[in-house]
Amino acid sequence: MSFIDRLPYEWAVGIRYTRAGKRSGRNGFISFISLISVSGIALGVAALIVVLSVMNGFTKEVTDRMLSVLAHVEVYDANGSMADWQGAATAARNNPAVKGAAPFAETQGMLMYDGVMKPAILRGVLPAEEGKVSDVPKNVTQGSFDALRPGEFGTVLGVELARSLSLKVGDKVTLAVAPGNTDAAGMVPRMINFTLVGIFDSGHFEFDSGLAFVHMADAQSVANLDGPAGLRLRLENMHDAPLVATQLRQSMPGQLLFRDWSKHNPTWFAAVQSQKKMMFIILVLIIAVAAFNLVATLVMTVTDKQADIAILRTLGSSPRSIMKIFMIQGALVGIIGTAVGVGTGVLLALNIDVIIPAIERAFNVQFLSKDIYFISTLPSDLDWSDVFGIAAVSVALAFIATLYPSFAASRVKPAEALRYE
C-alpha cells in the first residue's frame, strides 16, 4: 500500500486528480492544464520576488551612496552658529547610538572656470573629523582630503562637478558668493579663488555634481560665520535616526534643530515606496490570472469526473467531502506553483549580479546608464518578509480559486451524472 493510499480518501482522490492521468486522454489533457496553472503561478511568484528584490536593492544602494556623503542626523543651532560645537558633540556622544560627530558649515555659490559656471554647495568641514561622519575622505580618487588647510582656500570637488568644469588637481577655480558689495549697478558678488586639491567620487550623481568641500575656517570666512552651523552625526544603525533625533532633542541643551537623513530627500523615498507598492499590485495580478486559470482547470476536472463524483456520492460521500476533494486538488496546484516560484525567484534574486552582466555581455547592451540613473549596475536585496508575504498571497488566491468549482462539484446529482454512463 502506497503512502497516498494510507491518507483519508478525500486527500488520496484529490492528489490522484492532480497527477497526470495514464489511462484517459481527457485526464491527460486536464493534467496538462494543471501544469499550465502551476507554471503561471510559479512565473508570477518568481517575477514578483525578483522585481521587489531589485527595487529593495536599488533603494539600499542609492541610500548607502547618499549616506556616504550625508550624515545620519544633522543638528543645527537655532541662532545660526554653534560656537561650542565640542560641548554639543560630547553631549550627542553620550547617547550610545551615536558613534561619530563633526562640525560643518554650508553656503551656496557659483564656481567659475574658463568661462564655464556651475552652481555648488560649499560645505566647510574639519578634515580630521569628517571621516567620523562620512566616507568622503575615503572616496577621494585624486589629490588628498587632508590637503584642506585653514587659510589656504583649497577645495575638494565631486568628480562630475570637476569634469563639467574641465578641472584637474592644482587648478584655480573662482567661487562667487553673495552678499557682496553694492554699487550703482546693484549688488556685486564676492569672488574668492580656490585651489583644487582633491576630487571625490561618491557614486551618487547629485553629490558628485554639486558639492564642494573646503576647510571650516575658509567656509566661515566666505560665509561670514562666527562658528560652525551645526553638527553632523553618524549612528550605529542608520534606521534608528528618527528615534535618536527625538532622544537627542530631549537630552541636548540649547535651542537646537534636528533633521535625520530620511528628511533630506523625502520626495524620492516616498516615490520609491509608492512604486514598490504599485509594482506589487501589478505583479500580483499575474498570480491572479494564473488563479483564474486554475478555476478553469477545476471546472474542467469537475465536468470530466462527474461519473466518479456520482459513484462516490452513491457510496456515501457527503457533498462536503466532494467539495474537500477538489479544494485539495486546487490547493495542491497553488502550493506547488508557489513553491516552484519561490525557489526560482530566490535563486534569481540572489544571483542577479551575475545573471544581468552575463546578459549584457552576451547581447552587448546596458540596462542602466550612469548618465540617467543614480547607479549603473542592477542590485538585489532579498527581503524574506517580502518572500513570505508573496507566498501567502499566492496560496490564498489559489485557495479562493477553488471555492466555486468545489462547490459546483458538491452539487452534482448522482442520477443525472450516471444517466449517460
Question: Which amino acid, residue 373?
Answer: Y
Nearest partner of 48 among 40, 60, 37, judged by Cα: 40
Do 94 and 207 fall into the same domain?
yes
Do 251 and 184 fall into the same domain?
yes
Do 243 and 391 fall into the same domain?
no
Q: What is the pLDDT along the chain (421 residues), one digit of tens a residue?
A: 555 556 665 666 767 766 654 444 444 444 677 788 888 889 999 999 998 998 888 888 878 888 888 889 999 887 878 888 899 999 999 999 999 999 999 889 999 998 899 999 999 999 999 999 999 999 999 999 999 999 999 999 999 999 999 999 999 999 998 765 445 455 667 889 999 999 999 888 888 999 999 999 999 888 888 889 899 999 998 888 889 998 998 888 878 889 888 887 777 777 777 888 888 888 888 888 888 888 887 887 787 777 877 877 777 778 888 888 888 888 888 898 999 999 999 999 999 888 888 887 888 877 766 555 656 677 889 999 999 999 999 999 988 988 888 888 888 777 665 665 5
3-state SS, residue 178: strand
Longest CA span, the chain: 108
Instruction: Give residue 92's domain range.
Output: 71-263
Do 366 and 222 fall into the same domain?
no
Q: What is the pTM of this model?
A: 0.72
Q: CA end-to-end span of the chain, whole Å?
A: 30
Do 77 and 146 fall into the same domain?
yes
Q: How many domains does the chain contain in total?
A: 2
Contact 399, 335 (CB under 8 A): no
Do 55 and 80 fall into the same domain?
no
CA gap 394, 214 in Å, rounded: 55
Tell me which H or E stretch contains 101: strand 98-113
What are 149's three cell numbers?
A: 588647510
What is the DSSP code (8-state) at residue 353?
H
Question: Which amino acid, residue 271?
Answer: A
Number of residues that make up the chain: 421
Which of 263, 282, 305 delimits the end of a domain? Answer: 263
Which of 263, 293, 321 delimits the end of a domain? Answer: 263
Do 104 and 163 fall into the same domain?
yes
